[in-house]
Chain A
Amino acid sequence: MDVNTEKFKTEALKALNDSTSRSFLDFFLPVLSMVRDLGLSSFPDPVAAVEKARAIRHNAVSRLGDLLETFEKNAIKLGTKVYWARDAEDANAYIMDLIRTNKVPYVTKGKSMISEEIGLNAALEKNGVPVFETDLGEFIIQLLEKPPFHIIGPAINIPPQDICDVFMAKAGMKNPTTNPVELGYAARLFLRDKFKHMRMGITGVNMVVAENGTIINVENEGNIRFNKSAPDIQVSVMSLEKIVPTMEDAFHMLRMLCRNGTGQKLSAYVTMDRGPKKDNDIDGPRELHLVILDNGRSRIYENPRTREVLQCIRCGACINICPVFRHIGGYPYGWAYTGPIGKLLNPLFLGLDRTSDLFGACTLCGACKKVCPAGIDHPEMILYFREMNMAGNRMLKGKGSRLSQKIIATCAAMAASHPGIWHRGTACGRAMIRRLGPVGQALLSWTRHRDLPPLPETSFRDRVKPD
């Protein structure tokens, strides 16, 4: 997947002027947040249910190494072939090797963020292997060559006429229509043929269970079920943090994932894989491969200030509530992850220097942290990124600060720690700003996107100071 995080500001401006997408954001995201709240209200104690989920994710990530080792042992016992991939290139090469060895003519895929992260489609297509996304939204944006707009509705903002045009051109649709249901059935018809003759299906993983080696996927359409039932070979790709200790924990996280994502008590289909098919089973994969991907996560884990991000379950609750995302949608984020979680993951995978506009574009309102069922403190980590970016942290690839910024920061720190200098400085600054007037203010870059209200003659402190 191309990295476009450095175009955040220009893409955000474009998105702000896109009235079609804006109308969807205005309608769709508040509805998703509302159904989330309704879904959680079905728990006897919704607050405790969220706290329980946060505890499960915290505890799982705390002992990640041990859990992964236990899981691997149990999964292998069930017949799953486990491959540990160092990075994107390693994971893609393993999958490509499976395709070559088994002479697979094409692959179908279930929606997965991790395949976006490793650029799997591009890697396979570069090697001449056709790839068919099978989630409806992903299928549409694959044909249109667009990035996902939203984690749950990747093509939710695309006008039906655009979908009609691309289906006529690339998906064998015979009769033009802009009816969403008819468009959906046209996609069903086209992909059904792919499912019927498929040799290899590739999916992501929502979670695995350490105590018994189970691999779990959550979906509504049934495409992931096809990818795990129809082919000879199933390849599931998981990021190494997607693990819970027990089935009991898995069930609670499923309850939370579905309620937080779409407000459902449980999605239409949850599949739990327990190894490949048995010899006498008539369907199911004869080989089940699980790729466990690091791609920098073990480094993220080593830093106690960033480890918490690995607790994420990709429910999308933070995205739906974020006031910035609600205005600009997913395109400006420029890589696999969007919204508040994208402001944490993209910088950690790509470096602070290429993503500073992402974590810069945050009001620190804390809505994301409040709704997160995994217990992630997004604002705290964003502040940490800003600090490390200015400090030029080498591990996180911080940009470092300019000389002028260093001088300003040093002066501000000195003034803030010396009350006398502070009071004289603010009085002086006040007088200067009052003299600038509106024309002068317009010349300041600070006021380009902000209003600077007229300042009163005396400060609040002076007015309330006892005589």
Chain B
Amino acid sequence: MSQNTRDRILNRLKKAGTMTPDMHVELPPLPHAMMDSDELVQSFILNVTAAGAEVHHVEQGQDMSNILTEIIKDTELTRFIVNDDTVFKHLELDIWAAKQGLALIRASEFNDRRSYTDAVFDVGTAGFTTVDYAVAESGTLVIGHHQGHARLISLAPMIHIVLVRTDQIVPVYDDVIAQGLFNDEGPSQVTWITGPSMTADIQATPFKGMHGPKRLVVLLRK
């Protein structure tokens, strides 16, 4: 049925054909395309903050420990789920977590999907991830999902903490196209995150954390 339908639809569309010539419009480039690296960082911070995220500068491991300690204060967090990235080891996140009595688990360490799902949906879980890119033009975080970077760790927990290196900030979305995320062998999904989960569906009252994270915390390091 689908093959016949397909052929009938495509034949009809092709037979009707192009009736008017293509239109061409030249656009001036966005200002971000002309920014130097410092300006890009500033623009990223401005936009990601406007979108509702919190931004902290991290110079070294100690800074991160202090910030994370502040974040977990007065929460019921019992575990951090992270993606596969050696940076967490370099920053001695495991040592900090052990001191706080928190479990630190990589999503890829779970033996089966059921136990992973139980953990990632648990109210005591926070997601802590890196990104592939960040985009200055709108303060957007870009994550390609694959074996080493699961989808739900940046979505199911109430808190999503993100580690961004300043050299990962690109000016505009188009700069990401050529970077391999869209190769046939690349990730099965690419997610673009601009702020925490939000809605204003009741009485136009805006609030964060409708289905995804209520807090999006960006740790920015050089």
Known: A214-B182, A282-B110. A188 touches B209 (CB 8 A): yes
Find out whether the CB atom of A181 lies under 8 angstroms from the CB atom of B20. Answer: no
B33 CB to closest chain A CB, in angstroms? 10
Number of A-B contacts defined by CB within 8 Å = 257
B52 CB to closest chain A CB, in angstroms? 8
Find out whether the CB atom of A135 lies under 8 angstroms from the CB atom of B201. Answer: yes
Complex CA distance for A220 and B188, rounded to whole angstroms: 21
Find out whether the CB atom of B19 lies under 8 angstroms from the CB atom of A180. Answer: no
Find out whether the CB atom of B188 lies under 8 angstroms from the CB atom of A180. Answer: no
Asked if B87 CB lies within 8 Å of chain A CBs, one says no
Complex CA distance for A98 and B20, rounded to whole angstroms: 40
Find out whether the CB atom of A221 lies under 8 angstroms from the CB atom of B177. Answer: no
For A282, what are the chain B residues with a Cβ–Cβ distance below 8 Å? Answer: 107-108, 110, 113, 116, 147, 150
For A31, what are the chain B residues with a Cβ–Cβ distance below 8 Å? Answer: 204
A450 CB to closest chain B CB, in angstroms? 34
Find out whether the CB atom of A83 lies under 8 angstroms from the CB atom of B2. Answer: yes
Find out whether the CB atom of B155 lies under 8 angstroms from the CB atom of A225. Answer: yes
Asked if B195 CB lies within 8 Å of chain A CBs, one says yes
For B198, what are the chain A residues with a Cβ–Cβ distance below 8 Å? Answer: 220-221, 268
Interface centre among A28, A58, A163, A270 (most CB of B within 10 A): A270
Q: Which of A278-316 contact B (CB under 8 A)?
A: 278, 280-284, 292, 294, 298-299, 301-302, 304, 307
A191 nearest in chain B by CB position: B211
Find out whether the CB atom of A229 lies under 8 angstroms from the CB atom of B152. Answer: yes
Range of interface residues on B (Cβ < 8 Å): 35 or more
Complex CA distance for A273 and B191, rounded to whole angstroms: 9
Find out whether the CB atom of A251 lies under 8 angstroms from the CB atom of B113. Answer: no
B12: contacting residue among A196, A284, A301, CB under 8 A: A301
A158 CB to closest chain B CB, in angstroms? 8
Known: A55-B23, A220-B199. A180 touches B147 (CB 8 A): no
B30: contacting residue among A27, A43, A72, CB under 8 A: A43
Can you sample 22 A-B contacts with CB below 8 Å? A44-B29, A45-B28, A54-B25, A58-B22, A62-B19, A69-B10, A153-B204, A220-B199, A221-B198, A221-B210, A221-B212, A225-B191, A265-B137, A274-B186, A274-B187, A281-B145, A281-B188, A282-B110, A282-B147, A283-B151, A298-B9, A307-B19
For B201, what are the chain A residues with a Cβ–Cβ distance below 8 Å? Answer: 135-137, 140, 153-156, 184
For A62, what are the chain B residues with a Cβ–Cβ distance below 8 Å? Answer: 18-20, 22
Asked if A389 CB lies within 8 Å of chain B CBs, one says no
Find out whether the CB atom of B151 lies under 8 angstroms from the CB atom of A229. Answer: yes
A270 nearest in chain B by CB position: B192
Find out whether the CB atom of B211 lies under 8 angstroms from the CB atom of A221. Answer: yes
Asked if B130 CB lies within 8 Å of chain A CBs, one says no
B contacts with A: majority SS = loop
Q: Which residues of B contact A (CB under 8 A)?
A: 1-3, 5-6, 8-10, 12-16, 18-20, 22-31, 47, 51, 107-108, 110, 113, 116-117, 121, 137-140, 145-147, 150-152, 155-156, 172-174, 177, 182, 184, 186-205, 207, 209-213
Find out whether the CB atom of B25 lies under 8 angstroms from the CB atom of A280. Answer: no
Complex CA distance for A52 and B199, rounded to whole angstroms: 30
Interface size on A, residues (CB 8 A): 100
Find out whether the CB atom of A274 lies under 8 angstroms from the CB atom of B189. Answer: yes
Q: Which of A7-15, A84-92, A326-334 contacts B (4 or more CB under 8 A)?
A: A84-92
Find out whether the CB atom of A265 lies under 8 angstroms from the CB atom of B138. Answer: yes
A55 CB to closest chain B CB, in angstroms? 4
Complex CA distance for A181 and B26, rounded to whole angstroms: 44
For B145, what are the chain A residues with a Cβ–Cβ distance below 8 Å? Answer: 281, 283-284
